[in-house]
Structure 1
Amino acid sequence: MYYAEDVIEEVRSRNDIVSVISEYVKLQRKGSSYFGLCPFHNEKSPSFSVSPDKQMYYCFGCGAGGNVFTFIQEYENYSFPEAMKFLAERAGITLPEKEYSQEERRAQDLRTRILNVNKMTAKYYYYQLRTENGRQAMEYLKNRCLSDETIRSFGLGYSNKYSNDLYLYLKKQGVSDELLRESGLMNVDERNGMYDKFWNRVIFPIMDVNNRVIGFGGRVMGDGKPKYLNSPETAVFDKSRNLYGLNVARTARKKSMLVCEGYMDVISMHQAGFKNSVASLGTALTTQHASLLKRYTDEVILTYDSDGAGIKAALRAIPMLKAAGISTRVLHMNPYKDPDEFIKTLGPEAFQERMDQAENSFLFEISILERDFDMHDPEGKTGFYQAVARKLMEFDQELERENYIQAVAERYQISFDSLRKMVNREAMRGAVPRREREEVVRPQKKREKEDGKKTSQRLLLTWLIEQKGLYEKISAYITPEDFTDPLYREVAEKLFEQLKTGEVNPARILSAYEDAEQQREVAALFNATVRVETKAELEKALNETILRVLRGSIEYRTAHLDPADMAGLQKIVADKRRVEAIGKLHISLD
């Protein structure tokens, strides 16, 4: 923990979750909760719930959930300390000095020192660009038609031709070799010792969403290799979780984000007015990038180069963006290679027109697929339609699949009914043969049984915080040990401790978890639902759930019992009697 628990709780309690989330999402009250469109995935019907009683949010569509800290971390891409600072300032709270464990103190101290060295380095490179030594680099940038304002706003710089230039400068500033090694700014080998990673390169500082320099990219002057070089991963730089230009693009407030291939594309597009442009950092787009983009937009326009590599990159990115709930289109730049060349030749207005005409990503995939078939040959054309039919099966929703069947039929001037029949035939071919079905029945049933146990445990945890007085009625029968999943048991222990003192504060329990995936799981534990219409049905479901949890607990402990553990065996026998006793009772909600 970065702060004492009582400090965290004060900040959380002073930031009402409905008030905070209302600043980002339009909410409407329905019963005891508020609902809106989920900011973490694409949806048309509100499934994003915010509970003022629980001080938690939960999306019944994508499973995103947590307390006010989780929301700010996810939406703003903040770390926990950053979310604490943001919410403390919002509530007018002065935070005490952070309380670190020794390991956390070392890690945080290293991050701070690297960020400080990066800041010094960025200023040094910026200065070098404006000296005689940087004249060639400045001419290169001017020849790329970059204005002084653009060069300044992106903090562009230059690393000298001498391989120890930055090293000597930073040593004069008192930076240790150990820190330089951790910063990623230096290379180290037995022959040359420690020397600059970047030399004779135009430098592109890489900033995170909070405008802190976390790394650098360098474009070589002349014919050196590699042409582009990036910082290695460090304590502050993870290239798979950051995007170049996002610090500006996230505030552009445009409907879509433009995803490019490189630094110069982003810079030239920002200069042309397209400030919603970003690029990955020397790597292909990742699932983490897609999740990061989803926090700021529901639509991405891919503006990759028009060559084979650009097409391949687009085809790889499309399914990742779709999985993140992002609608994707592809911008065609032919006959120009990249956005920079296009804008220089035809101007921003023409580029905007191409943006408006950007192609639906599925239809783009189909057009690339078409290249693998001879469309002048009947057999080749049939093979293409069969491949398209298989691809159309990717759409789970019937209406969406029908819409795409119609779009493909219109584009290729074929019968809608014929294409739909072909899709249905392909679906039948894809069905699992009976023998294969029989082979997977047992593991599937086992999974369903395990899932049923977890569902019962989630329901009981949810009811314990929603139904007043329930704890007193069932505490003689249910204990935290009856929750078989380790995380569920841990959460149950914390909740039971609260309930013993008459407190119900699930948001506080969630604050004990910093891992994003665990936060989602814990939020789900307090937002389980079952469809019932009457109080009698709810009481029936409650009694059945309690019995399922107890029986599941006994079954789990029996399977994991040491044969020599006589005390454990006796407890199981006693618990079986407990199940028989509670089976004769009816626990009411009165």
Structure 2
Amino acid sequence: MPFYSDDLIEEVRSRNDIVDVISNYVRLQKRGSTYFGLCPFHNEKTASFSVTPGKQMYYCFGCGAGGNVFTFLMEYENFTFAEAMQALAERAGVELPVQEYSPQMKREADRRQRLLEVNKEAGKYYYMLLRSEHGTQALDYFKKRGLSEETMRKFGLGYSDKFSDDLYHYLRNKGYEDELLKDSGLISYDERRGGHDKFWNRAMFPIMDVHNKIIGFGGRVMGEGEPKYLNSPETRIFDKSRNLYGLNFARTTKKPQLLLCEGYMDVIALHQAGFDNAVASLGTALTSGHANLLKRYTREVYLTYDSDGAGVKAALRAIPILKEVGIVTKVINMRPYKDPDEFIKALGAEAYEERIAQAENSFMFEIRMLEQNYDMNDPEGKTAFYNEVAQKLLGFTEDLERDNYIEAVAGKYQIGFENLRKLVLHLGTKGGITAKKPPLKSGIHENKKKENGMKQSQKLLLTWLIEDTRLFPVIGTYITPSDFTEEVYGRVAKILYEQFEETKTVNPAKIISMFESEEDQREIASLFNAHIHNIETRADMEKALKETVVRIKKNSIDHRSANLAPTDMAGLQQLVADKRQLEQLEKMHISIE
């Protein structure tokens, strides 16, 4: 990572108001001095995501995500710190100095940059070939699929020539060496043929990351040949499980959901028809990496997979993966047509819009597919189906949500609500209806560990100090940074006390930038957002403050006593003095004026 001075980092941070930046991603509403919205990092129905202008920080009281404007871009956009720094510097009009990398990091950065250059050159060459006499067959193919020139240009569509070393010689003449071309995944090598193209005689689909950089390609063979579709192999810049085709366009959609397709042509056809929220996985089944990527940009995904058996299986595989990260999922019915492309050609965009409005709840879709495995005209088959449905209903651990789904299933399948509910409860009693949900594998911080009282006390005091700097002279008499026994808390307290001593102000957002690990940054954000809800008057605050200070001081004394070396006479004398001070403190009244 390039090195930037603390002053430059602070300049960039201070010139990017956190409310302005986050408002581009989250709809915020002001409540008092704080803004609230639905958290973009976990699924919630009640806004617990707060953005505080005074602190220049965000914090979610639901999942614990928090930090400053750098942290937000790193979490939301999956940026490195350097990428977040560059994006925010550009936004604020701050010119960053050219940075020195370590030799190894410079080599890696240069390698990635050159791979992107190779892909860009290949994309330009394929684009040009499509519009030459060599690309006639591929151009006819795209036109027969109903694509306009504007759409072909938007997606950068191209053609790889029928000569299997055409791109190789073109890139070599551009000065790119064999080793780099091999790493790009565009060129293969063997002893007999030497360098030859991965793609030839194919209609080409550039694959772009969310920043519109070409990271790979997909190609459809022209005429006979296998495989029909071919994708770039994984490289240093191309990870199939962490990228989605079309997301570079769909990420800015104003529509409330993303449409998840199976293929490139479906995405392109939907975009051309006005559905700029369509994406597809890259020739692979949906993964948790895809689901986490989708979660950054939407709360709802509508599956618009092929309506054949393979498409149904893919949808049934995708639903639990999306549910695991908290994405609400629905399924679009395109029958009697196979895919979105066919549907729109036959019935048009308005009819497809109607199908979106009629999209089926993913659980009800799963039940409908399950029904096909049973003979519903046979009492035994029907009973087995109801038992299977009841077992699936146990997956809803919240009573209200489970009852709502029981009601929906009972209404659709003509079974009494109470009968189905009793069956669910009966199976739940045997299997443990109140069993805990397995932890999410999404990387989202859903499971906050229950904190002990001392950690919470230290958090509260740090929060109070930044929210009311008048407390420093009051608190400083009794509590020093060394009294914060949690290691990170002590480091933060030291910086906070130094800030106040130097400037009589505090800058919590700047403190976050001083810590490198995301875990530390998140923990610090929580330090500055601790609250107790039963404080209404100044007397309440003074009482809570005294109790907190006493608790922290006593804990500090106990902690040092347990770790004091027998020969440490100075430490022993300090302990004696602190114990006397604690006795006096317990008898005093702390006043806030």
TM-score range, shorter chain: 0.7 to 0.9
Cα distance change, pair 459–183 in 1 and its aligned pair in 2 (3 A): farther
Partner of 2:532: 530
Work out the CA distance in 2 between the residues paired with 1:334 and 1:551.
72
Work out the CA distance in 2 between the residues paired with 1:568 and 1:406.
72
Partner of 1:444: none
Partner of 2:444: none
Q: How far does residue 537 in structure 1 lie from its aligned partner after superposition?
A: 4.9
User: Contact (CA 8 Å) 2:478, 2:553: kept in 1 or not?
Assistant: no
| Offset from partner CA, 1:27-64 (integer Å, 9 cap, x none) | 34434422233344443432121112221001112333
Work out the CA distance in 2 between the residues paired with 1:86 and 1:422.
56
- The answer to whether the aligner puts 1:520 opposite 2:522 as a matched pair is yes
| Offset from partner CA, 1:188-222 (integer Å, 9 cap, x none) | 44555443222222211011222221211122234
Work out the CA distance in 2 between the residues paired with 1:453 and 1:382.
55
1:539 to 538, 545, 561: 545
Partner of 1:478: 482
Cα distance change, pair 458–476 in 1 and its aligned pair in 2 (3 A): closer
Cα distance change, pair 567–238 in 1 and its aligned pair in 2 (3 A): farther
Partner of 2:440: none
Q: How does 1:294-313 map onto structure 2 within 5 Å?
A: 294-313=295-314
Partner of 2:346: 345
Provide the identity percentage: 58
Cα distance change, pair 575–343 in 1 and its aligned pair in 2 (3 A): farther
| Offset from partner CA, 1:90-133 (integer Å, 9 cap, x none) | 33323332453444433332232222221111000111222333
Cα distance change, pair 511–235 in 1 and its aligned pair in 2 (3 A): farther
Q: Secondary structure at the match of 2:482?
A: coil
Work out the CA distance in 2 between the residues paired with 1:215 and 1:200.
17
User: Contact (CA 8 Å) 1:483, 1:549: kept in 2 or not?
Assistant: no
Partner of 1:508: 510
Q: Secondary structure at the match of 1:125?
A: helix
CA RMSD after TM alignment: 3.5
The TM-score with structure 1 as length reference comes to 0.85
Give 5+ residue unaligned stretches, structure 2. 436-447
Work out the CA distance in 2 between the residues paired with 1:366 and 1:130.
49
Work out the CA distance in 2 between the residues paired with 1:136 and 1:362.
44
Q: How far does residue 271 in structure 1 lie from its aligned partner after superposition?
A: 1.9
Work out the CA distance in 1 between the residues paired with 2:34 and 2:167.
57
User: Contact (CA 8 Å) 1:77, 1:209: kept in 2 or not?
Assistant: no
The TM-score with structure 2 as length reference comes to 0.84
Question: Which residue identity lines up with residue 238 of structure 2 in the other structure?
Answer: F
Cα distance change, pair 58–299 in 1 and its aligned pair in 2 (3 A): same
Q: How far does residue 421 in structure 1 lie from its aligned partner after superposition?
A: 2.3
Partner of 1:224: 225
Give 5+ residue unaligned stretches, structure 1. 435-446, 559-564
Q: How far does residue 146 in structure 1 lie from its aligned partner after superposition?
A: 2.2
Q: Secondary structure at the match of 1:35?
A: strand
Q: How far does residue 5 in structure 1 lie from its aligned partner after superposition?
A: 2.3
Partner of 1:215: 216
Question: Which residue identity lines up with residue 71 of structure 2 in the other structure?
Answer: T
Q: How does 1:81-480 map onto structure 2 within 5 Å?
A: 81-189=82-190, 192-431=193-432, 455=456, 458-466=459-467, 468=469, 469-470=471-472, 472-476=476-480, 478-479=482-483
Q: How far does residue 4 in structure 1 lie from its aligned partner after superposition?
A: 2.6
Q: How far does residue 545 in structure 1 lie from its aligned partner after superposition?
A: 5.1
Work out the CA distance in 2 between the residues paired with 1:430 and 1:92.
60
Q: Secondary structure at the match of 1:394?
A: coil
- The answer to whether the aligner puts 1:4 opposite 2:8 as a matched pair is no
Question: Which residue identity lines up with residue 266 of structure 1 in the other structure?
Answer: V
| Offset from partner CA, 1:508-540 (integer Å, 9 cap, x none) | 222245665554344233323333322255225
| Offset from partner CA, 1:156-175 (integer Å, 9 cap, x none) | 11112333221211111111
User: Contact (CA 8 Å) 2:557, 2:579: kept in 1 or not?
Assistant: no
Work out the CA distance in 2 between the residues paired with 1:99 and 1:51.
35
User: Contact (CA 8 Å) 2:157, 2:203: kept in 1 or not?
Assistant: yes
User: Contact (CA 8 Å) 2:301, 2:327: kept in 1 or not?
Assistant: yes
Cα distance change, pair 567–161 in 1 and its aligned pair in 2 (3 A): farther
User: Contact (CA 8 Å) 2:394, 2:433: kept in 1 or not?
Assistant: no
User: Contact (CA 8 Å) 2:259, 2:279: kept in 1 or not?
Assistant: yes
